[in-house]
Structure formats: C-alpha cells, structure tokens
Structure 1
Amino acid sequence: MLIITLVSHLLYGQDTSSKQNSKQNDVKNSVQELEKVPVISKNDTLFFIKSVKGNYPATVRARAINKNLKILASSYNKLTDSFYLKTSHDYIEISCNRNLLLTVTQGDAILEGKPIEILAKLRKQNIKEHFEKNSIISNIEWFKRIGSFLLCLLALYGIVRLINLLFSKINKRLSKIERHFLNRNGSLLRYFIPGNSNNIFVFLMNVLRIGLIIFLLFIGTPFMFSFFPFSEKLVQKFYIYIEEPVIYIFNGIIDFIPSLFFIIIIGITARYFARVLNVITTDIEREKLQLHNFHKDWAKPTGKLLTIFIYAFALVLIFPYLPGSGSSAFQGVSIFIGAIISFGSTSAIANIIAGIVITYMRPFQIGDRVKIDNLVGDIINKTILVTHLRTTKNEDVTIPNANILVGNIINYSSPETGNLIVHTTITLGYDVPWETANDLLLKAANRAPLLFKDPAPFVLQTSLDDFYVSYELNAYTEAYKKTPFIYSEIHKYILDVFDEAGIEILSPGYTAARDGSVTTVPSHLNSETKSPISKLIDHLTGSNQPNITNKKN
C-alpha cells in the first residue's frame, strides 16, 4: 500500500510540472502573436485593445470605440453626462448616459493580467479623465470664442443693413415700373393686382425683405451661440430638429414646381374670363350693350354668379394638384369644413337663394317706396343676403331676403302701375243723404294739395253696416313719397268741409228702444211720421204752424 501511494505521488508531480510547462509555452507563443491597437481620442491615447491572432480583430474593435468616443466628444457636457458600468455574464459594458462606448471581456482581462472588474474601472476612469480634461477651456480659447461670436454678430448686422439698402433701391425702381405698366392702355399687369392698390410691388418686396431678415436671424442667432460650451449642445439639437422639416419642405417645393405651373395657368385663365365677364356686365349695366329681355339690373348679380362658377370650376381643376390633396387628413378636414358649412349656414343659404330669386323677380328697385311686413319705406340697398329699408320715420331696417320672399310686397312707385291712389274711409249715419256725403268728400279732395284734378277724385260706398254707411274717398297722386303728408291734408280738409256743413262725422249706434218715429230715412221723414217727442218740439217751437207764418207775411 505504501509503495502504491509513493508511485502515484511521483506520477502526479510529473504530470503537474508538464502542464505548467505547456501553459508557459502557450503564453510565450501568445505574446509573440499578440495584436495591440491604441484607442485614441483628440490625439490622446487612452488604452490599448489586445487580441490573439485568430480571435476577433483588435483593429475593428478599436475603430468602433474611436467612432463612439468621437460622437461623444461632439456633445459631451460634464455637468449633465455621466459614465457607468453594466455587468453581464462574462463581460462589462462601459456607457455614457444611454450610449454604449465599449465592452470589457474576460479575454481582455486575461491578456491584461487583471480582473475584469478592475480593468473595466480603469478604462472608464481613463475615458472620464480624458473628457473632463478636454472640457476645460483656457483663457485664450475663451477669447477666441468670444471673438468669433462678436464677428458673427457684426456680420449678421452687416447683412441685415445690406438687405435693407438693396431693397430700398429695388422699391424705388419698382414704384416707377408699376406706375409705367399700370398707366399703359391694354396692360395685362393691371388684371392681376387688386383694383384700388397703391405700390403693390413695394408691399410684396417689403414682405419678402422682412421674411428674409427673420430667416437670417432664425438661422444665424443659434450659430453665434454655438461657440459657447453651455449652449453648444442646445444649438446642435436645434439644427438637428429643424434639419428634417427643412429638407422635407425643400423637397416638397421642388416636387411641387410642375404642379405649380399648372395651377398658375389655370388661375390666369380663370382670372382672364372673370375680367372679361366683368367688362361685359359693366357695359350692360351702363346700357352700352343691350340684350333682348335682359334687364340692366340683372347684369351685376349675373356677373357675380358666373364669376363664382368660373372660380369654382378652376378650384375643382386645381384641387388634385395641391400638396397633400390625396392624404386622408386633407380629405377629413375638407369633409369637416363641408359639414360645418352645411349645418351652420342653413339660414344663410336660404337668404342667398331668396336674394337670387328676388333679383330676377324684380319686385322693387333701389329708391322705390315699398311696404314689406307692415313696414313702409324706401329701398336704400339690396344684397344677396338682406335688403335695407329706410322708413318714413328715417329708420334703417334690415330685412332678410327669405322673409321678403315668403311675405307680401307692395310697391308704391312701380312705373307699370301709373299714379298712386290714396284713399281714406269715414262713416256717417243713415240720416245723412249719400249725395251730401259724396259732395262734401269731393270738395275736401279738391282742396287738398298734391292730388290730381284729372283723373278726378271719386267716392265709393264700401259698406252698409247696421247703424252707418262707410264712404271711401279716392284720389290720384304722383307724390308717393309724400303720402303721410297727403293723408294728413285730406283728413284736415274733410274735417273743415263737414264742419262748414254742420254735419258730425260719427258712427251712430241704435238700441232696441226707438224714439217712436215710423222711419229714419231722410227722404220719407215728414210731420206725420215723426216721433211724439219730435212733434212736441215742433209744436213748442212753432215749426208745425206754417199757416200762421203765411198769414203774417
């Protein structure tokens, strides 16, 4: 047993010594075939990446780490950025914020001859010290940065002054050009600018100048502050944020140019037809051009309707060429706007249709004296939506066209009706002969001013009521705008005439108890048919004794 133990111990010692010798030989061979590549940032070597021949190349790893460090160097801020380690199963990640910089593996630890945790901490510390050292700016560097800021500020100020100077000279030249073109007969330029505009070109150039200055300030001001460390990172983010939309807009504009030419051609054509139509309607309105059975007051509304149709048709042709017209968002907004117009403008559309119908019905014209909804006045203006009426009390009333269309309209000044007949009604008892009433009313009409003698006034007995007769006086006049005054004068002279005749203007009423007379008809009333009271009064006054009167005579 002892012999076996000694033999086994000798054999194990020989085997251990042979393994150690093989490991040493492998290390020697590895050192001879080791690849070592430096990690460099801003000309400063931070550490080396090592690898054995046949493993993942150290050159590739070092290049990737250098790239990550370069990206970090462009935006590093020691106040906000921090480095940390993240341990996994057989490697450790070194990151800054959420950006991975490099990994430390077990193979790196073996080649460096250090535990993986210590090696990862050393490399993290080297990177941190390197960036903190380079983040400190010297006084000379500060002077350079401040000088660059002031130089950019001066350059921006000079560019703005230069823009203002150039545009002032351009505006003077454009003012002369605009007056020259607008004063030329047959110039097409005046068809493409607003009707009562002054210096429209100068206005557009000023808008362009202000827009250009704002653009320069928008781009140049952040660039000036990019020289300072505290704002350098913000400026970079700012330019990154605006880069994508600017590129998108620029590419969209370039792609839109062919469609823009098509839209311009359609717009010019529609504008040309609208201007020609405007000239035609103006000539019809001024009676320079006459069309059979087409009234001149139809010219303006008809021209507006046709102009709307022309521009609507042009818009239909232009719509497919607008940017984003095929997108669902654009279509959704179009449907939404259409729904709002449909539900919110029901009354407005009703007034518009009524205005068009009234225009072609021609129930009145501007200046006519009319009666609408018990309002009497003169038409002072009419639009597609409402009609403006000025009453005889000098009150301005706005009436929706839809209300006018469904109501009654009385036009006192229509040329087709001739002279206006003014009329008023009085009531008298049956004891007044109708001949007397007619004569007195005609006498009052002859005294009243502004009434025609030819055709002569006339009286109508309009009704025979229970206790009185209605007499209507009618007379012709052409002063339809003075009807309140005419009626006042007629009533005044009626009172005077009946007062002179001793006849009261009243409407008598009878009760069931009569005074005893047989009749109240004037032509049949005599001494035999009078009431007892009347006979007594005649006896006391002597009215019933004609013979005594004759004897005295």
Structure 2
Amino acid sequence: MKSGLRFFVSLFCYLCLALSSWGVANAADKNDEPPPQEATLTVANRDITVFRSSYGGPPPKVRAERAAARIEQLADEGRRLPVSTVAYSIGEIPGVAVMAGDKILFAISQKDIDSDSNRSLELEASEAAKRVEEVIAVYRDQSSLKTILRGIGLSILATLAFAGLIWLLHIVRVRITSRFTTLIERRLALTKGLGWARYTYGLVLRIVQLLLLAIALVLIDVWLTFVFKQFPITAPLGDHLLDFLFGYAGDFGDAALAAMPGIVAIAIIVFITQAIAGVVRSVFDATQAGTIAIPGIHPETASATRRIVMVGVWAFAFALCYPYIPGSSSDVFKGVSVLLGFLLTLGSAGVVSQLMGGLVLTYSRALRVGDYVLIGDVEGVVQELSTLSVKIVNVRNEEITIPNAVLLGAAIHNYSRRAESVGTLLTTKVTIGYDAPWRQIHALLIQAAKSVDEVRKTPEPYVYQRALNDFYVEYELFCHIDEARRRVPVLSLLHGAIQDAFNESGVQIMSPHFFAQPAQAVLSPKAQWYAAPAKPPQNASPETKQ
C-alpha cells in the first residue's frame, strides 16, 4: 500500500510541474508577442495622428480605417459640428476621444504616443482635433464651385506657361546641338579627322543637354506644385513636391560644400603631378634625342622608360587622390573596387606575362620598328612594337602578330642592327662535285656576287667550304648589302648571277650521287685548278700556272 501511495504522489507532483511549466511557457509566449504595427490616420492627403496600439480591441490599421471613414462621412454631410476632445477610457486604460458634436471620431491612448517624443496625451489629442477641423474645412472648400473654377483656370494658365517654357528649352537644345555639330565638323576639317575635337565637343554637348534636362525637371516640379496647390485636397501634395525639390537641392548643396575641401586637395595633387610629369617627359625626350645621357637608359629604351615612369607617377597620384574623391568610402566604391580587383586577379596572369615580355624585348634592344628580322620561320620588317605583341610584315605583304611571351623563347635574327656600319650579311650555298676545282668555284661565286649592283664592294665577298660530304663539297658565299629589307630581291639576283657565271664557265651546278663506283677516279685535274676565272698565286710553279 505504501509503495502504491508513493507512486500516486510522485505522479501528482510531475503533473503539477508540467502544468506550471506549460503556464510559464504560455506567459512567456504572450510576453514575446511583437507589438502591433503602427498605422497613420490620413484624410485628404493630410496626416492627423498615428495609432500604435490596439486600443479598444482592433489593431492600429483597422482603427485608422474606421476613423478615416467617420471623418469622410462627416465631411460629406457638410454639417458644421464643433470638434472637441474628451477624456475617455476603455476598462482601466485611460485615453482621450476626439469628437465632432456628440459623435466620437476616434480615441487616443497613452500607448499611441511615441515614447521618445515626451509628448503628453492631451497635447497629442488637441493637435489631432485641430487637424480634423482643417480636414473638414478642406472638404468644405473643395465643394465650392468658385474654388474649383478658380483652380481649373489657374491650372490651365500654368499648363500653357509650362508648355511654352518646354518648347523654348527644345528650341535652345536644337540650336546648341546644331552649333556644336558645326564646330565639330569645322574642327575635323581643319585637323583632317585627327585630334580630340569630336570627343571634347561631344562631352561638352552632353553636359549642356544634362543641364537642360535638369531645368526641364525643375519646371515639371514647379508646374505640378502650382497645379496641386490650386485645389485644397491636393495642396499637401504640392507642398511635398516643393519640399522634395528644395530638400534635394539643399542636400546636393550640402554634399557639394562638404566635398569642396577634397576637390581642392585633388586639384592640388593633380597640378603638382602634372608639373612632375612635364619634367619627366622633358628629361626622357632629351635622352631619346641624345641631348643628355642617363646611366642605364639608352635612346632606344627612353620612350618605354618614360611611359613606365609616367604610369608610376600617375598611379601614385591616384592613390593620394582616392581618399578625397566624394563617395570613396561608400559601399558602392568598395564593391566596385573589389569587383575590379577580382577581375584583374583572374585575367592578369597572361597579360602580365605579355607585359613582362615586352619590357624584356624593349630593354634588351633586340628589335626596333623598321628592322628586318627573322624570328622562327617568320621573316620580315618590324611594323609595330606594343606592350603585348610585335607585328611583322613579310615579303608577301602579310601582317603577322607574334605575342611577346613567344618572342622570349625564340631566337631573333636582326639583319638591320649592323647594316649601317658594315652592311647586312647575305649568304647562299651551292653543292658541287669533287671533280670541279674548288678554287674555280670560289672565283665564280665571288665574281657572281660582284656582278650584282646592290652587293657592297667593301667588305669584299668571300667563300667558305662548309662541309666535305660523301658526294659533294658544300660552298657558302658571304657578301654584304646596304638595306636589310632588300634581302630577298638581292638574293634572287645573286642566284641568277651565280647560274650565269657557272654556265659561262661550263661548270655544272650539281651534287652527284653514284649507284656504283666509277671506273676512273672522279677528280679535279691539277691543271684545271686555276681554270678561268680563277687566278694562280704569284709564287706558283710554271706547271701549276699552265
């Protein structure tokens, strides 16, 4: 029995604890309920008061709708009833009722007062009653035929004036656009389509058009404000528009005044930077012209070095100006900066490689515009050297673009670099059998080279025997020409002269391959070693001279 009794007592205690916990939870839930959303009582475009509590049961929104309906009904009836305030309470919650005659329009409780305003309930109710009287008077004036006709007439006059001003702005815009178009065409005719006149005048034209658009928007605001204020019900809308215009203009002026110190600082930094950039430009222009010498800077690299230094100077100036730019600390600037940094990070690897390649080519002085070069299997004249690539025009008048990163791993043969001193070296090879006297071959090749007018006489052409192959001897002719760009045409003339010289001397240009060893030795007889046009040395024996 005792154990059973103990079980029921324990069960009773657990039930009590559960019920108490449930009650506390419900109380907490009720306390945690969010306050009702406030609602503004607005009639005839005029704010009367704000409801922030469920005084009397309905939420603030329903209270505002019911009060607005009562006031509008009272205004429609056209009765002149005195508006007053009376102490009013619902249960134990005190309040103040706003009445028209003996009819309650709405009531205000202490919870409807903004806690941060420190306003009394009586003062809030009194001001709300005055606003109700104004609303009723507005409805009374709006129903007057004289007021309506006067408002319509003044609105029509204002609309006509507004249309005339807009038409005048249109005429001004057309004339300004025509004037700027004439100036642009005249400047382009003087500069033959070159220069920045088109873009400069175009920018000024866009600025003028924006100013005219701003004037048109101000006229629209003033026109709407005037028209709305001619009718009692819409008069507050006109006040709002005018307040918006002056408020926006005031905010803009305040922002402009606040940004003036930063703009002045930016102007000073830009002015100093322009002076420094002018000095840098003058120094490097003099270096490029050879007037002054800077250690480590050659005339060929002066232009590229100037651009790098100028970019560094202006980048440093931009870093100094950035904090003074209006809005630089805003989230928009920060977001754009992060986006640009992200894009540069993704796409900078290849671009940086090309830029570094361009710097290496510039400072190694391997190429110049106008040089005749051979890069891999591309041979032609350098047309353009940029930060990312090199453009070459070959003998077929084809423009070939080679990225700078590719040039770093390729051998560059520059035929123009030494052309001014000793001329550009031109070579060609022939292979002749062992039965032909090598001295005669040397003499024929030199004779052919001297017969071409564009081959330089000094230094004189010369021949090397490059290889003694199994079936033939490999001869290479070396000569010099003045213009590297003429390599291909001169080489063609040289080949023709070689063929003519060999044909006239009865020497075959061939590289024999034997399928079987000939019966006699394939030799060049000693008596033919100095066959014409070869000449024997002065100390040669009589047999050799024969």
TM superposition score normalised by structure 2: 0.62
Change in Cα spacing, 1:364 to 1:115, as seen in structure 2 (3 Å) is closer
Change in Cα spacing, 1:231 to 1:381, as seen in structure 2 (3 Å) is farther
SS in 2 for 1:423: strand
Structure 1 window deviating more from structure 2 (230-239 vs 284-293): it is 230-239
1:95 is matched with 64
* Partners of 2:394 and 2:58 in 1: CA distance: 100
1:224 is matched with 223
Change in Cα spacing, 1:216 to 1:101, as seen in structure 2 (3 Å) is farther
2:400 is matched with 397
* Partners of 2:255 and 2:384 in 1: CA distance: 48
2:157 is matched with 150
Aligned ranges for residues 456-467 of structure 1 at < 5 Å?
456-467=460-471
Aligned ranges for residues 264-275 of structure 1 at < 5 Å?
264-275=267-278
User: Residues 415-474 of structure 1: CA distance to partner in whole angstroms, max 9, x if unpaired?
Assistant: 376222211111122232323322332232232331233332222211122222211122
* Partners of 2:470 and 2:280 in 1: CA distance: 66
Aligned ranges for residues 443-458 of structure 1 at < 5 Å?
443-458=447-462
User: Residues 247-284 of structure 1: CA distance to partner in whole angstroms, max 9, x if unpaired?
Assistant: 55443323222222222211211122112322333333
Alpha carbons 1:388, 1:399 under 8 Å: kept: yes
Alpha carbons 1:281, 1:299 under 8 Å: kept: yes
1:499 is matched with 503
2:76 is matched with none
* Partners of 1:294 and 1:502 in 2: CA distance: 57
* Partners of 1:74 and 1:257 in 2: CA distance: 39
* Partners of 1:414 and 1:243 in 2: CA distance: 71
Alpha carbons 2:463, 2:477 under 8 Å: kept: yes
Which residue identity lines up with residue 500 of structure 1 in the other structure?
E
* Partners of 2:56 and 2:339 in 1: CA distance: 56
2:422 is matched with 418
User: Residues 333-387 of structure 1: CA distance to partner in whole angstroms, max 9, x if unpaired?
Assistant: 3122112112213222222222222222212222221222322222233222332
Q: Tell me, yes or no, if structure 1 residue 521 matches structure 2 residue 528.
A: no
* Partners of 1:246 and 1:476 in 2: CA distance: 78
1:433 is matched with 437
Change in Cα spacing, 1:326 to 1:155, as seen in structure 2 (3 Å) is closer
Change in Cα spacing, 1:231 to 1:413, as seen in structure 2 (3 Å) is farther
Which residue identity lines up with residue 430 of structure 1 in the other structure?
Y
Change in Cα spacing, 1:476 to 1:91, as seen in structure 2 (3 Å) is closer
User: Residues 469-510 of structure 1: CA distance to partner in whole angstroms, max 9, x if unpaired?
Assistant: 211122222232211111111211222222233333222222
User: Residues 179-225 of structure 1: CA distance to partner in whole angstroms, max 9, x if unpaired?
Assistant: xxxxxxxxxxxxxxxx9666999888755543332122112214323
* Partners of 1:276 and 1:317 in 2: CA distance: 20
* Partners of 2:59 and 2:506 in 1: CA distance: 133
* Partners of 2:517 and 2:452 in 1: CA distance: 40
SS in 2 for 1:364: coil
Change in Cα spacing, 1:115 to 1:478, as seen in structure 2 (3 Å) is closer
Change in Cα spacing, 1:201 to 1:426, as seen in structure 2 (3 Å) is closer
Alpha carbons 1:432, 1:522 under 8 Å: kept: yes
Alpha carbons 1:225, 1:231 under 8 Å: kept: no
Aligned ranges for residues 169-248 of structure 1 at < 5 Å?
209-226=208-225, 227=227, 248=251
Alpha carbons 1:160, 1:213 under 8 Å: kept: no
Larger CA Rg, structure 1 vs 2: 1
Aligned ranges for residues 26-425 of structure 1 at < 5 Å?
72-74=43-45, 88-89=56-57, 95-96=64-65, 135-136=142-143, 138=145, 141-151=148-158, 153-154=160-161, 157=164, 209-226=208-225, 227=227, 248-291=251-294, 294-415=297-418, 418-425=422-429
Change in Cα spacing, 1:199 to 1:288, as seen in structure 2 (3 Å) is farther
Which residue identity lines up with residue 446 of structure 1 in the other structure?
K
SS in 1 for 2:428: strand
Alpha carbons 2:424, 2:484 under 8 Å: kept: yes
Which residue identity lines up with residue 217 of structure 1 in the other structure?
A
* Partners of 2:347 and 2:500 in 1: CA distance: 60
Change in Cα spacing, 1:275 to 1:368, as seen in structure 2 (3 Å) is same
Change in Cα spacing, 1:393 to 1:89, as seen in structure 2 (3 Å) is closer
Alpha carbons 2:373, 2:412 under 8 Å: kept: yes
* Partners of 1:302 and 1:91 in 2: CA distance: 75
Structure 2 spans left out of the alignment, 5+ residues: 1-39, 48-53, 72-84, 91-95, 108-132, 180-193, 528-546
Return the offset for 1:156: 7.7
Aligned residues: 415
* Partners of 2:430 and 2:59 in 1: CA distance: 120
* Partners of 1:307 and 1:288 in 2: CA distance: 20
* Partners of 2:262 and 2:371 in 1: CA distance: 52
Return the offset for 1:113: 12
Provide the alpha-carbon RMSD of the alignment.
4.8
* Partners of 2:507 and 2:102 in 1: CA distance: 141
SS in 2 for 1:378: strand
SS in 2 for 1:414: coil
* Partners of 1:259 and 1:98 in 2: CA distance: 53
* Percent of aligned pairs sharing the same letter: 25
Structure 1 spans left out of the alignment, 5+ residues: 1-67, 77-85, 120-125, 173-194, 526-553
* Partners of 1:200 and 1:361 in 2: CA distance: 38
Return the offset for 1:245: 6.1
Return the offset for 1:325: 3.0
Alpha carbons 1:370, 1:379 under 8 Å: kept: yes
Which residue identity lines up with residue 508 of structure 1 in the other structure?
P
SS in 2 for 1:470: strand
Which residue identity lines up with residue 506 of structure 2 in the other structure?
G
Alpha carbons 2:169, 2:212 under 8 Å: kept: no
SS in 1 for 2:396: coil
* Partners of 1:261 and 1:137 in 2: CA distance: 58
Change in Cα spacing, 1:114 to 1:296, as seen in structure 2 (3 Å) is closer
* Partners of 2:223 and 2:199 in 1: CA distance: 36
Higher RCO (CA 8 Å, separation ≥ 6 residues): 2
Alpha carbons 1:163, 1:209 under 8 Å: kept: no
Which residue identity lines up with residue 72 of structure 1 in the other structure?
V
Change in Cα spacing, 1:94 to 1:101, as seen in structure 2 (3 Å) is farther
SS in 1 for 2:369: coil
Alpha carbons 2:141, 2:147 under 8 Å: kept: no
SS in 2 for 1:285: helix
* Partners of 1:98 and 1:491 in 2: CA distance: 111
Q: Which of 481, 485, 488 is equivalent to 1:477?
A: 481
SS in 2 for 1:95: helix
SS in 2 for 1:474: strand
Return the offset for 1:128: 11
